[in-house]
A and B are shown apart, each in its own frame.
Chain A
């Protein structure tokens, strides 16, 4: 199963298993990763599962859709590598994915 590493805003890393076909947000919630709220449950409707995709993974996770960009307007401290983790589907290629969580969700 692909593994994802979440680094929190204080620098602590947690590596979890993520099922192919699920989302990065779901992997975070199932494993009680801090700093991810996911209030709307994956509907791309709240911007509280905001993450930063660390280099060089951005090329594999791809770009945010237009709707996701609209929701990112409601997030804080948005950077060019910002994504909503509910919009990234786990694939075999993403095994080893490395992301950082912001210190605060919306």
Chain B
């Protein structure tokens, strides 16, 4: 097991709310670590709509989802937050008291944090791969069906079928083709969303007979004891065709699932975490919830609301982290103290 990482605050989720919380905490000298299951920052903004324009961020008549995230990352840079990507926060364990909270936070991959407060900025939950509703597919998950490629060796010398038309499907088609027995790519239409050069490379493999491309959808699976042997493909014309398949990798995008947040002893109301509107604290003292994950009378799932919530939560967290220090209200415009922290003075 790795060494315990000691910090003031662990922020669960690096969406816009979690990112801006780093800033508000930083102004108050509170250090934070961000954990997100995705390989990058930005939550819904960068995962679901990076190119779409947002029109209701105060002060920005128009900014794209990714543009906003890039700006936030730049804005929090002076506080040197530590990012832990590709890790899901699984458990939180209270070690302290209501007056002096202390938590042990554990993430997948074995990282352990010890912190005085936790900000749950988990949005709609953690992004997880969508599972196609093929009957009996669960029986093969982890042995023959994989939703991501973690170890290429698991696929060497096998009949591999990849389903999907985006970059993940194309990239893995190109990467796995040289080491597998036979690779079949299945997509519902003969049009691919992926990067043009990947589409071209894939088409070349098909033209040279190095992979098979089928247009259609997977109708059923055959095999036993968790070992897949084949699948039946339903073509666009409705015709059925059997294909040898020992490893199936479906890429149907990501969906948000509440996930482990439900197991942290927090009150839940329709999969949301109720908070007060003064401190945005949950029923567990020291655990705060901001952004899309929380609920309170009048809650709106807007980015700007998540920003406001983080600013107020930081005030209360200051009391937990620095119980003896008095907090004085300051503006970034006029406070040389704040400007020093921001590195502009």
Q: Is A106 close to B, CB under 8 A?
A: yes
4 shortest interchain CB distances as A-B pairs: A74-B253, A45-B48, A70-B193, A73-B165
Which of the 9-residue segments B15-23, B184-192, B265-273, B322-330 touches chain A? B184-192
Contact between A46 and B48 (Cβ–Cβ < 8 Å)?
A: yes
Enumerate 29 A-B pairs (CB-CB under 8 Å) in ascending A order: A39-B124, A39-B255, A39-B256, A40-B48, A40-B49, A43-B49, A45-B48, A45-B49, A45-B52, A46-B48, A46-B255, A47-B253, A70-B166, A70-B193, A72-B188, A73-B164, A73-B187, A73-B188, A73-B189, A73-B193, A74-B130, A74-B253, A76-B132, A76-B133, A76-B252, A78-B217, A106-B252, A106-B253, A106-B255
A51 → chain B closest CB, angstroms: 16
Bound Cα distance from A7 to B57, whole angstroms: 39
A2 → chain B closest CB, angstroms: 28
Q: Is A63 close to B, CB under 8 A?
A: no
Chain B residues, Cβ within 8 Å of A76? 132-133, 252
A99 → chain B closest CB, angstroms: 20
Bound Cα distance from A80 to B191, whole angstroms: 14
B322 → chain A closest CB, angstroms: 40
Bound Cα distance from A28 to B133, whole angstroms: 23
With A43-B49, A47-B253 already in contact, the answer to whether A73 and B133 are too (CB < 8 A) is: no
With A43-B49, A46-B48 already in contact, the answer to whether A69 and B253 are too (CB < 8 A) is: no
Interface SS of B by simple majority: loop
Chain A residues, Cβ within 8 Å of B165? 73
With A39-B124, A46-B48, A76-B132 already in contact, the answer to whether A69 and B189 are too (CB < 8 A) is: yes
Residue of chain A at shortest CB distance from B219: A77
* Chain A interfacial positions (CB closer than 8 Å to B): 39-40, 43, 45-47, 69-70, 72-74, 76-78, 104, 106
Q: How many residue pairs bridge A and B at CB < 8 Å?
A: 43
Q: Which residues 27-73 in B have Cβ within 8 Å of A in the complex?
A: 48-49, 52
Contact between A78 and B49 (Cβ–Cβ < 8 Å)?
A: no
Chain A residues, Cβ within 8 Å of B193? 70, 73
Chain B residues, Cβ within 8 Å of A78? 188, 217
Bound Cα distance from A49 to B133, whole angstroms: 16
Contact between A43 and B48 (Cβ–Cβ < 8 Å)?
A: yes
Chain B residues, Cβ within 8 Å of A69? 189, 191
Contact between B130 and A77 (Cβ–Cβ < 8 Å)?
A: no
Chain B residues, Cβ within 8 Å of A43? 48-49, 52
Besides A46-B255, A73-B165, 13 more A-B contacts (Cβ < 8 Å) are A39-B255, A39-B256, A43-B48, A43-B52, A45-B52, A46-B48, A47-B253, A69-B189, A70-B166, A74-B252, A77-B217, A104-B133, A106-B130
Bound Cα distance from A4 to B20, whole angstroms: 43
Chain B residues, Cβ within 8 Å of A70? 166, 193
Residue of chain B at shortest CB distance from A80: B236
Residue of chain A at shortest CB distance from B253: A74
